Amino acid sequence: MLDKALIEALEAVVLEQGQPKAVAQRLIAWLNQASEAELGRDDHTQMFNNVREALVVGTDHAN
């Protein structure tokens, strides 16, 4: 379980960055996984791609 202050800070920053709530949720899921077990490269990659799918960046707007 992540520290409450960390979760609150993450949610606030994601909002400030104009990103969807799913970004915060997926980052929290990733951090939770990392806190509970040693993640291998494949695990990290999967969690990273989950977050990427939720992100909205400049290239997406251009496309």
Partner 1 sequence: MRIDLVGWESEGLRCPDVRIDLRREGKIPQVALIQMPNGTGKTTTLQLLNATLSGAAENWPAEKVRRYRRKHETRSEGRFKATLLVDDRPLSIELILDFENGQTRYKTTNPGSGGVVPRWHVPPAVNKFLAPQFLSLFIFDGEFANDLLDGEKAEADKAVDALCQLYLLEEVGAFAQDHWERSAKAQTTKTSAGLDRLVEARDRLAQRHASLADALAKAKGRVGGLISEISELQGRIDDKLTSQDTVRSRYETSQRELLEAQAEVQAGSTALMAAMRMPHALHPQLGAQLITLRDNLDRLRLPENTSAQFFDELVREAECICGRTMDAAAQEEIQNRAKRYLDADDAGVINNLKGDIERFVDVSGEEEEVGHADVATLASRLGKATRREKTAEQQVRALKQQQIDAGDEQLGVWQAQLERLEADQRTVLALIANIEGPGDAAESDDTKVLSLSLLSKRLEEAEGRIAEITETVRLREQSELIQTILSRTALRARAQIKAELVEDCNARLATVLANDPLVIEGIDRSIRLRGQDGASVGQTLSVGYTFLMSVLSRGNNDFPLVVDSPANPIDRGVRRRVAAIIPGLCSQFVGLTINTERDGFVDTLEEHAPDTVFLTLFRKTNGTARMMKDLPEGRYETTETAVLVDDRDYFYRFDVKDEEEDDHGV
- Report the nearest approach of partner 1 to the CB of residue 15 (Å): 10
54 close to 28: Cβ distance less than 8 angstroms: no
Q: Determine the Cα–Cα distance for residues 1 and 5; give it in Å rounded to an integer.
A: 12
Q: Determine the Cα–Cα distance for residues 59 and 24; give it in Å rounded to an integer.
A: 20
26 close to 51: Cβ distance less than 8 angstroms: yes
- Report the nearest approach of partner 1 to the CB of residue 23 (Å): 7
- Report the nearest approach of partner 1 to the CB of residue 55 (Å): 5
**Which chain residues interact with partner 1 by CB under 8 A?**
1-6, 8-10, 12-14, 16-17, 19, 23, 27, 30-31, 34-38, 44-45, 47-48, 51-52, 55, 57-60, 63
